[in-house]
Structure 1
Amino acid sequence: MTLSASSASRRIAATVITAGALVSAVALPASAQDHDRHHSRARVVISDVQADSPGRDNGSNRSLNREWIEITNQSRRAVDLDGWTLRSDDGNRYRFDDVRLAGHATVRIHTGIGRDTRTDLYQDRHHYIWDNYSDTATLRDDRGRTVDVDSWGRSADDDSWGRGHHHRR
């Protein structure tokens, strides 16, 4: 059987198109995987706040350490928090130094004095940091980018009272 030149050209073109489609189909999962890898980046959030130390605010170290903020890594991968900061509305700042937060782990940052562990860090302060009634905690990465913000009490934007004005970036 002989093919005409135009028939052979159509067959070659169809073969090239089919091969191109197969290459694209094989390449697609790789780019989708890169896209997923980009979106599955570590997510670190302010997960809980205890701004009002239970009992009387008597300034004791025990009372200061009952004032805390929890930071949670919601991803599977560990995150190096070295150089990250946690700041109050009043400008009080805690800088994370040599801290690695495992995947799906939480660390509690206490105001008072104590010995740092994997689950508890201490600011070693002698005064309360967080306002019992209204404050904002801002978590920034080592480049100064806002990672998460959590506000409680009276919002500057409105006259409502409440907890959990959460703003994530």
Structure 2
Amino acid sequence: MHIRTTAPLALAAATALAGSLLVTAPASAATHRGGLHLGKIQYDSPGKDTRTNTSLNAEWVDIHNNSKSKLQLKGYKLKDNTGYTYTFPSYTIGAGKTVKVHTGKGRNASGHVYWNRGSYVWNNTGDKARLIKPNGKLQDSCSWTKSGTGTKNCH
């Protein structure tokens, strides 16, 4: 008799839990519908890692502004697990636009900024990219654990 009453209670609890997960999943997904977030990361430069500027610039992070207005990124930081940090200079990203942060050297232009490093930032075997607001609070993060295609879609 005890088994019969436990099974319906367990089923009811599981159903309630599943229902709450369904309710919370869209809310957490909605956090990236509006605002600034990490989009896609090319953490493994295609081909051999030769440390040429071309190879370094083939390692990048997309930051997307999914809001309805332009945003000033001055003071925002992009960091990895090691602590390598790119700090945005004065840069305005338009509504619905993306800026690509390249690891290597180059001249900042619309949609592209350069970290101006002579070595790679993102580890192919696992790392975590963090987008940090000027006030030090975490805006977004994206991590990977192993090399697959060398590209990670964050959201």
- TM-score range (shorter-chain normalised) is 0.7 to 0.9
Partner of 2:145: 153
Q: Secondary structure at the match of 1:91?
A: coil
Partner of 2:110: 118
Within the alignment, does 1:50 sit opposite 2:42 as a pair?
A: yes
Q: Which runs of 5+ in 2 are unaligned?
A: 1-30, 147-151
Alignment of 1:37-116 (within 5 A): 43-116=35-108
Quote the sequence identity (%). Answer: 35
Question: What's the CA shift for 1:132?
Answer: 1.0
Bigger relative contact order (CA 8 A; separation at least 6):
2
CA contact (8 A) 1:115 1:122 kept: yes
CA contact (8 A) 1:42 1:79 kept: no
Runs of 4+ in 1 over 4 A off after TM superposition: 163-166
Q: Deviations over 1:24-65 (max 9, x none)?
A: xxxxxxxxxxxxxxx9x9510000000000000010000000
Separation in 2, partners of 1:165, 1:117: 24
Partner of 2:126: 134
Q: Secondary structure at the match of 2:109?
A: coil
CA contact (8 A) 1:57 1:63 kept: yes
Separation in 2, partners of 1:164, 1:106: 14
Separation in 2, partners of 1:49, 1:102: 20
| Equivalenced residues, count | 120
Separation in 2, partners of 1:97, 1:165: 24
